[in-house]
Amino acid sequence: MKKNISRALLALTIAGAGVLSAVQPTVALAAVPAQQKTQVPGYYRMQLGGFEVTALYDGYVNIDNKLLKGINGKDAKVLLDKMFLDSTNGVQTAVNAYLINTGTNLVLVDSGAAKCFGPTLGGIQNNIRAAGYTPEQIDTVLLTHLHADHSCGINEQGKMVFPNAVVYASKADADYWLSPEIAAKAPEEAKGLFQMAQDSVAPYQAANHFKVYSPGDTLIAGVEVVPTPGHTPGHASYLFSAKGQELLIWGDIVHSHSIQFAQPEIAMEFDTDSKRAIETRKKLFADVAKKKLWIGGAHLPFPGLGHVAIDGKGYRWVPVEYSPVMVAAGK
């Protein structure tokens, strides 16, 4: 029976091919349209309990492998090869921010680099709009730290991009990056970072919209500050909790997903205190893997949402799978 059907199909196919080839010369083929050369908008939505989480893409930078400390080029290549990454021109590294609608607040965590780091970055404002919101609607901005790729996006030509928002940073980071005395003593190549941090927050300070907090302070409902120092003195992560589901937005705990999950002891040149950054990373990996927390990472491949899993002596990154937004994410 099956054989007969196959034969019948084959006969039909051959007949069809004959018809096609017979008419082909008289059919004018439509021109293939031009390639679109555009990408989907840079946002991704996830439901977390009653909260709506929107990952926002700012852009990317190519990070030179030599900025990783504690690993030689050969060992780094083995790990990069595993992820099909070529480091010839540096490794593409995303810059992400997160917009959380808690139902009570519209909260932006980090704000991208705006124009501080070149043309491959600065997409946050466009992607906020693409995601259905406006910068004016945001009432709270939580900065994980005061590096320019996180703070420059709050300022455009000296004006507040989020005029109705209170911008929060940790006191330890503000005391460091906003101090003219520390900036004056900094090495010449680091002075620009201090200047960019000071410029970013200046209009908010002038409008009394900039606030610093200390560990243990409550900022808004549903969010807990988790101090994660090392990368900068007051680097902080933010734990969002809704109906038993939790998401930790951890800023710069990882810069190189291909290397630092496997080897958390590898540091990054930009760390203010590498030793402390490594301790924080190791402790946090163990903790979030055990608790199976959702993670949002500023420099993980967009949307930077997923989980950390134990893998042998190290860890691995398990990214979120595309999901219709109406489906609530599991734990």
Q: Are 242 and 48 in contact (CB under 8 A)?
A: yes
What's the min distance (Å) between Cβ of 270 and Zn ion? 8
Cβ proximity to Zn ion, 64 vs 136, nearer residue: 64
What's the min distance (Å) between Cβ of 91 and Zn ion? 14
Establish whether the linkage from the previous residue to 303 is cis, with ω within 30° of 0. Answer: yes
Cβ proximity to Zn ion, 149 vs 173, nearer residue: 149
- Exposure string for 286-312, b = 16+ CB within 10 A, e = fewer: eebbeeebbbbbbbbbbbbbbbbeeee
Q: Name the 3-class secondary structure at 283.
A: helix
Which residues from 133-172 bind Zn ion, rule CB under 5 A? 149
What's the min distance (Å) between Cβ of 276 and Zn ion? 16
Q: Would you give the binding string for Zn ion spanning residues 193-222, x where CB under 5 A is met?
A: ------------------------------
Segment near Zn ion (CB under 5 A); pick from 54-62, 190-198, 204-212, 252-260: 252-260
- Exposure string for 213-235, b = 16+ CB within 10 A, e = fewer: beeeeebbebbebeebbbbbbbb
Q: Environment class of residue 67 by beta-carbon count within 10 Å: exposed (0-12), middle (13-18) or buried (19+)?
A: middle
What's the min distance (Å) between Cβ of 36 and Zn ion? 31
What's the min distance (Å) between Cβ of 148 and Zn ion? 8
Cβ proximity to Zn ion, 270 vs 319, nearer residue: 270
Cβ proximity to Zn ion, 242 vs 268, nearer residue: 268
> Of the candidates 252, 274, 300, 308, which one interacts with Zn ion according to CB under 5 A?
252
Q: Would you give the binding string for Zn ion spanning residues 18-47, x where CB under 5 A is met?
A: ------------------------------
- Residue 52 as a binder of Zn ion (CB under 5 A): the answer is no
E strand or H helix that includes residue 156:
strand 155-156
The structure tokens listed for 228 are 């994660």
Cβ proximity to Zn ion, 246 vs 252, nearer residue: 252
Q: Name the 3-class secondary structure at 159.
A: strand
d(CA 273, CA 85): 28
d(CA 210, CA 293): 30
Cβ proximity to Zn ion, 52 vs 252, nearer residue: 252
Q: Are 294 and 146 in contact (CB under 8 A)?
A: no
What's the min distance (Å) between Cβ of 251 and Zn ion? 7
What's the min distance (Å) between Cβ of 30 and Zn ion? 48
What's the min distance (Å) between Cβ of 242 and Zn ion? 26
Cβ proximity to Zn ion, 49 vs 296, nearer residue: 296
What's the min distance (Å) between Cβ of 64 and Zn ion? 15
Count of residues in contact with Zn ion, rule CB under 5 A: 2
Q: Are 103 and 121 in contact (CB under 8 A)?
A: no
Q: Are 49 and 103 in contact (CB under 8 A)?
A: no
Cβ proximity to Zn ion, 131 vs 270, nearer residue: 270
Return the closest-CA partner of residue 94 out of 169, 149, 40, 52: 149
Cβ proximity to Zn ion, 49 vs 251, nearer residue: 251
- Residues lying near Zn ion in the complex (CB under 5 A) are found at 149, 252
